[in-house]
A and B are shown apart, each in its own frame.
Chain A
């Protein structure tokens, strides 16, 4: 775990992440400016650090209703604004970028932040980036596998000699700058179904798994399949960290949490997927067994500990700003996370 900068004895890590979505606040119908949205993200990272949150992530999506397409630039600003918190992508759509360039960017963020940068590489669940950046969606599977392998190789080797289908070959290339300690943690972003969890396992690369809602136990298959595939390929699954992610909203009472989150999750899904979140399903969400993180402080603590038992993951990442959540609500969530949730989960998970 050390090479991934994870120390299990300190207990499970808690992180925040954002897709940088830029959706009108469904309650007021108003949308803040892109500038305000980005600056509030940077501000949120500072508050997260002060609250004792371990990780802060920003992801990229290249289409309407998003604003952090240049997520590495935002992460650079966060690196400058903070001093302790780990900085990650959530995720980097590696398929549409050059792995060399991605590595250069994150190595630079690692230097700015004094060794706090990580990469979470994914294929992207929205196809906007492919059309915009001229990547053939036909190659969706293969292009990602090839680029992730190359990224991993760059991270592991000083001088890289490599040949593939989707990029010019590298001949003894020295990729600069080098990160502070010569390498940085690289994770694979995995959606719900086990197929890409299995690929992550075979590659022996840490996995960040989305568990956006529905019964938490449904995602257990992916966790097990990941560890099994890692073992099959000769990796020690105990040395590979797993992170899970979910949409998150905490308030003093269950009722307040449901009322606070519903307009945003429903409006957010409506905007980016074209269908909302059914109320009936949402009403079931505070149950400990449901993966969607909505509820009172105590309910959220129970959910996270339940999932920790189920998955034995090393990190939980919460998305608290989806669907035009205003900044004061984001601040309130960070406050509860820092004051009550993190102390409770660290207490139970520290070894």
Chain B
């Protein structure tokens, strides 16, 4: 199984801190799976201009192709103006309409205030659903006060991240078996 963890912002440290922790948990719990972290701060990604994702060059091609080969994507996003950052939306815009078909997508969200706790429901999930993702229903919402100097200091968050990692992997397995069962019905 290929799992890609995406830190969706090019500024700040909280989302990246959360994603580093997520990746650490994934690697520890599932050493048999291939895990890759894509931190958008480390790449220069072009704005979507209508090309197929594989027709870009450099970082844009690398980032989109890496996402497209994943079985599961864990998206880490901060909250900017009550929504996802433009850098993350640009990734979605670069990909085909049905990019997340047969992929499991789960989310980790950071925000400066608890007022944003429904941001994922209202802003991110509709996009993922449109792109045909199998969405892991629960997500981990992390506030400013849960971090201290680039560490997560709230045990509740750590437990929830562990459960998110588990749910992501189990959901991939569940959908794999559904697909295998469906495919067995077809003789083509």
Contact = CB atoms under 8 A, between A and B. Distances in A.
Interface of A: 63, 126-128, 131, 137, 255, 258-259, 261-262, 272-275, 278-280, 282-283
B51 to A, nearest CB: 6
B186 A283 contact: yes
B122 interface: no
Nearest to A255: B187
A283 B51 CA distance: 30
A272 B51 CA distance: 11
Contacts of B51: 127, 131
A137 B53 CA distance: 17
A131 B49 CA distance: 11
B112 to A, nearest CB: 36
B54 A274 contact: yes
Secondary structure type dominating chain A contacts: helix
Contacts of B55: 63, 128
B99 interface: yes
A273 B96 contact: yes
Secondary structure type dominating chain B contacts: loop
B169 interface: no
Contacts of A283: 185-186, 188
Given A275-B99, A278-B102, 20 more contacts: A63-B55, A127-B49, A127-B50, A128-B55, A137-B50, A255-B187, A258-B186, A259-B187, A261-B188, A273-B52, A273-B96, A274-B52, A274-B68, A275-B98, A275-B101, A279-B183, A279-B186, A282-B186, A283-B185, A283-B186
A274 B99 CA distance: 8
A294 B53 CA distance: 29
B53 A274 contact: yes
Contacts of A137: 49-50
Contacts of B96: 273-275
A127 B182 CA distance: 35
Contacts of A262: 188
A273 to B, nearest CB: 6
26 contacts: A63-B55, A126-B52, A128-B55, A137-B49, A137-B50, A255-B187, A258-B187, A258-B188, A259-B187, A261-B188, A272-B52, A273-B52, A273-B96, A274-B54, A274-B68, A275-B68, A275-B96, A275-B98, A275-B99, A275-B101, A278-B101, A278-B102, A282-B186, A282-B188, A283-B185, A283-B186
A106 B96 CA distance: 35
Nearest to B51: A127
A259 B101 contact: no
Nearest to A261: B188
**Residue from A255, A272, A275, A280 with most neighbouring chain B CB atoms (10 Å):** A275
A71 B5 CA distance: 44
A126 B50 CA distance: 9
A258 B96 CA distance: 25
A252 to B, nearest CB: 15
A150 to B, nearest CB: 25
Nearest to B54: A274
A333 B54 CA distance: 32
Nearest to A131: B51
Interface string B149-188: 0000000000000000000000000000000001101111
Contacts of A258: 186-188
Nearest to B97: A275
B115 to A, nearest CB: 37
Interface string B19-48: 000000000000000000000000000000
A255 B188 contact: yes
Nearest to B68: A274
Contacts of A275: 68, 96, 98-99, 101
Contacts of B49: 127, 137
Contacts of A273: 52, 96
Nearest to A128: B55
Contacts of B54: 274
A63 B88 CA distance: 28
A131 B54 CA distance: 15
